[in-house]
Amino acid sequence: MDYTDLYIDGGWHKTADRFDVINPATEEVIASVASADIADADKALDAAEKAMADWAARTPRQRSEVLRKAWELMTARLDHFAHLITLENGKAGTDAKGEATYAAEFFRWFAEEAVRADGMITHAPASGARIVVQHKPAGLAVLVTPWNYPAAMGTRKIAPALAAGCGVIIKPASETPLTMLALMPLLEEAGVPAGLVNVLPSRKTGALVDHMLHDPRVRVVSFTGSTGVGRKLLKSAADQVLKPAMELGGNAPVVVLEDADMDTAIEGTMLAKMRNLGEACTAANRIYVHQDIAGEFTKRLTERMSALKVGDGTDPSVDVGPLVNADTRDKVAAFVADAVVKGAKIECGGTMPEGKGFYYPPTVLSNVSEDADCVQDEIFGPVAAIQTFSDQEEVIQRANNTEYGLVAYVFSSDFKRALQVCERLDYGMVGLNRGLVSDPAAPFGGTKQSGLGREGGHEGMLEFMETQYISARW
pLDDT > 90? residue 72: yes
pLDDT > 60? residue 283: yes
Beta bridge partners of 161: none
* Contacts with 69 (C-beta within 8 Å, 6 or more apart), sequence order: 189, 190, 191
How far CA 240 is from CA of 22, 220, 231, 244, in Å, comes to 36, 10, 15, 11
**What is the pTM assigned to this prediction?**
0.96
CA distance 163 to 112: 9
CA distance 307 to 137: 50
Q: What is the reported pLDDT for 413?
A: 98
Q: What angle do CA 323, 230, 395 make, to 5 degrees?
A: 70
pLDDT > 90? residue 1: no
CA distance 414 to 121: 44
CA distance 192 to 454: 24
pLDDT classification of 2: cutoffs 50, 70, 90: confident
Q: 451-473: per-residue pLDDT in tens? A: 999 999 999 999 999 999 999 98
CA distance 22 to 1: 12
Catalytic option among 166, 281, 348, 422 = 281
Tell me if 202 sits within 8 A of 175, measured CB to CB.
no
Q: What is the reported pLDDT for 474?
A: 84
Residue 247 appears among annotated catalytic residues: yes
CA distance 268 to 251: 17
* Residue type for position 390: S
CA distance 389 to 288: 7
Task: Report CA torsion sign: 147, 149, 150, 155.
Answer: negative
CA distance 230 to 290: 35
CA distance 291 to 176: 42
Q: 251-261: per-residue pLDDT in tens? A: 999 999 999 99
Q: 192-230: per-residue pLDDT in tens? A: 999 999 999 999 999 999 999 999 999 999 999 999 999
Mean pLDDT estimate for the chain: 97
Tell me if 368 sits within 8 A of 339, measured CB to CB.
yes
Share of the chain above pLDDT 90, in %: 99
Residue 65 appears among annotated catalytic residues: no
| CB-based contacts of 258-263 (< 8 A; 24+ apart in sequence) | 258/290, 258/292, 258/293, 259/412, 259/413, 259/414, 259/417, 260/290, 260/293, 260/411, 260/412, 260/413, 261/411, 261/413, 261/433, 262/293, 262/296, 262/297, 262/300
Phi, psi (5° rounding) for residue 383?
A: -120, 120
pLDDT > 90? residue 65: yes
* Contacts with 397 (C-beta within 8 Å, 6 or more apart), sequence order: none
Q: 82-91: per-residue pLDDT in tens? A: 999 999 999 9
Catalytic option among 247, 279, 378, 463 = 247
CA distance 444 to 428: 8
Q: 291-337: per-residue pLDDT in tens? A: 999 999 999 999 999 999 999 999 999 999 999 999 999 999 999 99
Q: What is the reported pLDDT for 379?
A: 97
